[in-house]
């Protein structure tokens, strides 16, 4: 099998995949930092064809919507057979979640299990932390 070194985002990006994400209305007086964590995110390395397994952490402060967890699980599971490198998949995850939630702030970290002796973590964040109470700012890693 030839090694495929390519950014496959355009092949993997899908409106049907994003449509799996469901939200529910949520408004609160006090901003809440919501942390979602799984150690079971997986996709397929396009270079080797082997599964990549990683830890995914998402922190977000909702504006007026929260993610429904079963839909998030199904969305994440939809990547299991997708051939995509870690950096592009982190980008897609962030893009889709940001689009459906439109949060005040969001941070995503995707850490793949060590392969070849190199531990890699991708971090993406968006939003203005200065608009948040100091107590909430201190909770964000």
Cα gap 11→51, rounded to integer Å: 18
Structure tokens belonging to residue 127: 């939003």
Does residue 97 contact residue 59 with C-beta atoms inside 8 Å? no
Q: Are 29 and 66 in contact (CB under 8 A)?
A: no
Residues with catalytic annotation?
45, 52
């Amino acid at each position: 099998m030839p090694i495929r070194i390519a950014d496959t985002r355009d092949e993997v990006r899908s409106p049907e995949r994003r449509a799996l994400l469901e939200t529910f209305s949520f408004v609160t007086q006090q901003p809440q930092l919501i942390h979602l964590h799984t150690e079971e995110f997986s996709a397929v390395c396009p270079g080797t064809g082997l599964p990549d397994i990683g830890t995914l952490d998402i922190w977000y402060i909702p504006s007026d919507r929260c993610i429904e967890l079963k839909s998030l699980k199904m969305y994440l599971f939809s990547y299991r057979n997708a051939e995509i490198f870690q950096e592009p998949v982190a980008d897609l995850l962030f893009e889709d979640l940001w689009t459906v939630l439109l949060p005040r702030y969001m941070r995503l970290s995707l850490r793949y299990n060590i392969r070849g002796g190199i531990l890699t973590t991708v971090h993406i964040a968006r939003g203005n932390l200065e608009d948040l109470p100091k107590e909430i700012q201190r909770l964000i890693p």
